[in-house]
Amino acid sequence: MPTYTPSAETGILSDPAAHAGSQLDVAADLLALLRDTDTEPRPDTQLEALTLAVAADLPVLLWGEPGIGKTAALTQLAAALDLPLTTVIASVHEPSDFSGLPVVGDDPAEQGVPMAPPDWAVRLVRAGRGLLFLDELSTAPPAVQAALLRLVLERRIGALRLPPGVRIVAAANPRSSAADGWELSPPLANRFVHLQWTHDHDVVVRGLGGTWPRATLPRLHAEKLPDAVDFARRAVCGLLAARPGLVHRLPSNETRRGGAWPSPRSWDMTLCLIAFATVAGSSREVLSLLVRGTVGDGPGLELLASLDRMDLPDPELLLADPERAALPERGDLRQAVLDAVVAAVRRRPDKPRWDAAWALLVRAMETGAPDLVVVPATTLATLRQEAWDVPASIEKLAGAVSLSRQADRAAARAAAVAKAGR
């Protein structure tokens, strides 16, 4: 029977169990207030990249140090997209949990032995939709990683196939900070879009104050679909046609094999992401995260550079009307256009085209940084044939070329003095 003790203030007998229960109720109220946070639309590049990859139905792997907020981001994403969240800790499961458990039927010789899926897979199939979160992927041993291959690529667990409404996101810590960590196997790594998950100071401070960024699916513009697919195919096929060595390049380093690297599979994923980013009007920063997270930094940066060049004006159109030519504002793109114009004159040299190229260089100097015309002007001058008169427009470029050469000579002298002083 309960023991009653007198209260120190009133002397009235009280039940300690009832008092403890009321304090737990107050503690529960306090915890509820602490968990009561809000969200707001706020630019967040990595969150936008994640939601775009989820919209494209591609498996995503978030890499980040422990405590960086990967699990919290996935929980908030599932809530924002109204998807039931199923979390599976890969490292505490056996391979059979993903490949299926054999179940002996009435007549195995006649019916075979079916592979029974785990309960979480059955719940996902029944729901028809959801967000499957494979956590602690880098602590899963090689045998479990091998069993995950079919789940990630084919969406199959045992005899079940996950419905199209299920999205897959995983999280991993770098091996240096993972508990008994393993490098990801190359076949498994090549099935993911790898995103480096870092913390943003302002986001964390505002979030701890009660307001986190809101994850929303990108708005896709239906009228852009055919053009986006055509653009993505031209971009990827154009790069691989010029750089066949990038079609498949397995890194020699074990750590890099566990990340993003180029293969026909990852290029297909990249093509899909470019199309989605184009339809959604995503920023270059978001596209950069996705592309480099799929085929790696080197090939990804080459692809981004080729995307820029795809939008550059045709050199022949510029030579046809140099006075009204529209040149890119960005210095690297403008330099590429001017180099392309000089290359076009080199391929088919004649006096009118040579004169037009000089006029274009003058326009570039008048509308942008003069130093960008130095190299193209020097190269163009070497293409002059003996019978061609020097155009008057060259006089306008002489100052920029002379100044650049003086600066080069001054830099060379400074480097020589510094070397002598050592």
At residue 283, the 3 state secondary structure works out as coil
Provide the pLDDT for residue 303. 93
The CA distance from 51 to 300, in Å, is 20
**With the C-alpha atoms ordered 8, 12, 17, 23, is the resulting torsion angle positive or negative?**
negative
What letter would DSSP give residue 313?
A: P
What are the tokens at 101? Answer: 């458990």
Tell me the longest C-alpha to C-alpha distance in the chain: 118
Q: Is the dihedral of CA 128, 129, 133, 137 positive or negative?
A: positive
pLDDT computed for residue 288 by the predictor: 95
> CA 379 to CA 365: how far, in whole Å?
16
DSSP 189-233: HTTSEEEE----HHHHHHHHTTEEEPP-PPPP-GGGHHHHHHHHH
Half-sphere exposure at residue 59, Cβ-oriented, CA atoms within 13 angstroms: 25
Looking from the CA of 309 toward its CB, the CA atoms found within 13 Å total: 18
Residue 16: predicted pLDDT: 64
| Per-residue confidence (pLDDT) for residue 4, from 0 to 100 | 52
Burial of 209 (0-12, 13-18, 19+ CB in 10 A): exposed
Q: Is 400 in contact with 370 (CB distance < 8 Å)?
A: yes
The pLDDT assigned to 44 comes to 85
Nearest to 157 by CA among 165, 270, 149: 149
- Torsion sign across C-alpha atoms 187, 48, 130, 55: negative
Q: Could you tell me how many residues make up the chain? A: 422
Per-residue pLDDT of the chain (422 residues; tens, 9 = 90+): 555 555 555 555 556 666 666 888 889 889 999 888 888 888 889 999 999 999 999 999 999 888 888 888 888 888 888 899 999 988 888 888 787 777 766 666 666 667 778 888 889 999 999 999 998 888 888 888 888 888 898 898 877 899 999 999 999 888 666 556 678 889 999 999 999 988 888 888 888 888 888 878 788 888 889 999 999 999 999 889 878 899 999 998 888 899 999 999 999 999 999 999 999 999 999 999 999 999 999 999 999 988 887 777 888 888 998 888 888 888 878 888 888 889 889 989 999 998 899 888 888 888 888 888 888 888 888 888 888 887 777 777 766 555 444 434 544 554 565 566 55
pTM, to two decimals: 0.72
**Cβ distance 131 to 167 under 8 Å?**
yes
